[in-house]
Structure 1
Amino acid sequence: MNSVPPKRNAPSLHARAAAGTLGAHQSMDLGTLDWICANRPAFTDSRPRLPAGALMLIPEAAWFSDPGQAGDSLHGIGHNARVSFLAWVLADARALDRDHALALCAAAAVHDCRRHNDRDDPGHGRRAAHWFTAHTDLVAAASGHRPRPTPLARAALAVALHDVPYEAFTPEQNDTYEQAPHLVDLLKAADALDRYRLPLTRWWPDPTRLRIAVPAWLHPLAFDLLVRSEKARLQGAAPHEALAHARQSLTREP
């Protein structure tokens, strides 16, 4: 079923963020997307370097704590799918082996699936990691790939830590991090790259909060992926169709 575009005369997400009146459920709207496009950063390198066969796993609404809001939530299907794609591209850029890249791509597609709302929601990473561990067969079947158990277990650790700032790690979380530091770093970076969807520029990607360097060309790629997928959805495409359209449009570019 196609989504229904929101009305432009409703208070935009950007306006509500500026006024400090954001609710528990937050979704993109035409006014906010226009604002995002108008504030496109002056990227230093806009030439895409996409790997051949770049993967994007688009999660199902049924995988989310609230399937009814998964289609338009800022942390729903669109966000998780874009992070899955960006995690794959980052993994390729860092020469991660295929098994770990596949596991990370799958985990990224569900990293926010256990959120209760679109605010901070502490602990949602741990809840999502538990869900992913219990449903790896389901997620792997949807992706069409089956990584080995060890990479999948390490990817689950990355999901458990993705919502915790490095400086806030407990001693136990530091021990967990040391079991899969490369996957934690990559998932955090991929998640950060989709922050261009947020309605205030001060919430957009901040490289100083990451432990890996993100290639300059990946920022405009993330920005365009967001804009194209959300524009298609707001024009009436279902989330899966909008994401597939955005991915295909980017991978066709030279």
Structure 2
Amino acid sequence: MNSPTPQDADRLPLHELAAVGRLPDHQVLDRPTLAWIADRRPGGPGARPRLPHPATPLVPDPSWFARPETATSLHGVLHGARVAVLVQLLAAGHGLGPDRVLALAAAAACHDCRRLNDRTDPGHGARAAAWLTRHPADLSAAFGHEASPEAVAAVALHDVPHRAFTPEQHTAYHRHRTAVDLLKAADALDRYRLPATRWWPDLHLLRLQIPAWALHLAHDLVVRTEHARLDGVSDAHALHLALRALQPE
């Protein structure tokens, strides 16, 4: 197959661009790619997953992002909002009280807010952590919670593989292990939004045991929120619709 010309690439859906190695720096999910994702539900078609318990929706403000185009991209507002939900769902049974969970979720909503592009962008976790320490009032006003020190540490380490930790990062990890591993797991579960299955969740890289329901629910959360966004609703309403659809009957 010939590589697409730049003009062709502008018209190709993300999953086709990923297949030929031509993804742009900023990637916005399109309908053909979302349909491609929906057709690849983990485990195949089956019963609709349900939220194991309620989660507070926390949707980051687009103005918090380093670049306007990043707020609408694959690492933008909806990604942060879904990770904030997933970290709340995963936190059950890990000994964190409600305030600690919501402080971590507030930080999780902003964990990619300092990204400059949708590529690897080394250091974006540290930049987001620094932003969180400078803007506690913004989080408090929007979410009713500030990012705690353990939540800031989790954001700083979320993009660094365990094997690549520096001695200082190892120290921070051992001090805040649960928060770091919860955020890493929640972030990984939202990888179903990415336009190639080779980038989807790899549970072997995580330090937490992932519940059986989590993969199906994370996939459905991506499909439902992104479908609503493509239909023209706001990010906050897209999340609301998805959470309502996933409520236990």
Counterpart position of 1:146: 145
Per-residue deviation, 1:46 = 5.8
CA contact (8 A) 1:46 1:217 kept: no
Per-residue deviation, 1:156 = 0.1
Q: Could you list the runs of 4 or more consecutive aligned residues of structure 1 that deviate by over 4 angstroms after TM superposition? A: 43-47
Within a 5 Å distance, the mapping from 1:70-149 to structure 2 comes to: 70=71, 72-143=72-143, 145-146=144-145
Within a 5 Å distance, the mapping from 1:28-43 to structure 2 comes to: 28-42=29-43
Within a 5 Å distance, the mapping from 1:1-254 to structure 2 comes to: 10-42=11-43, 47-52=49-54, 54-70=55-71, 72-143=72-143, 145-146=144-145, 152-251=148-247, 253-254=248-249
- Sequence identity, in percent? 51
Counterpart position of 1:4: none
Counterpart position of 2:6: none
**What SS class does the counterpart of residue 212 from structure 2 fall into?**
coil
Measured in 1, the distance between the counterparts of 2:155 and 2:112 equals: 8
Per-residue deviation, 1:93 = 4.2
CA contact (8 A) 1:125 1:159 kept: yes
Per-residue deviation, 1:56 = 2.0
The amino acid across from 2:85 in the alignment is: F
Measured in 1, the distance between the counterparts of 2:39 and 2:108 equals: 29
**What SS class does the counterpart of residue 92 from structure 2 fall into?**
helix
Measured in 1, the distance between the counterparts of 2:202 and 2:47 equals: 17
The amino acid across from 1:91 in the alignment is: A
Measured in 1, the distance between the counterparts of 2:82 and 2:51 equals: 16
CA contact (8 A) 1:107 1:159 kept: yes
Measured in 2, the distance between the counterparts of 1:78 and 1:119 equals: 17
Measured in 1, the distance between the counterparts of 2:213 and 2:90 equals: 11
Shift in alpha-carbon separation, 1:34–1:173, aligned structure 2, 3 A: same
The amino acid across from 2:202 in the alignment is: D
CA contact (8 A) 1:56 1:105 kept: no
Q: CA RMSD in A?
A: 1.7
CA contact (8 A) 2:26 2:69 kept: no
Per-residue deviation, 1:68 = 4.2
The amino acid across from 2:97 in the alignment is: D
CA contact (8 A) 1:129 1:159 kept: yes
Measured in 2, the distance between the counterparts of 1:93 and 1:205 equals: 22
Per-residue deviation, 1:211 = 0.3
Note the alpha carbon deviations across 1:145-186, whole angstroms, 9 max, x for none. Answer: 336xxx701110000000000111111110111120000000
TM-score, length basis structure 1: 0.89
**What SS class does the counterpart of residue 110 from structure 2 fall into?**
coil
Please, which runs of 5 or more residues in structure 2 have no aligned partner? Answer: 1-9
In the alignment of these two chains, the number of paired residues is 239
CA contact (8 A) 1:29 1:234 kept: yes
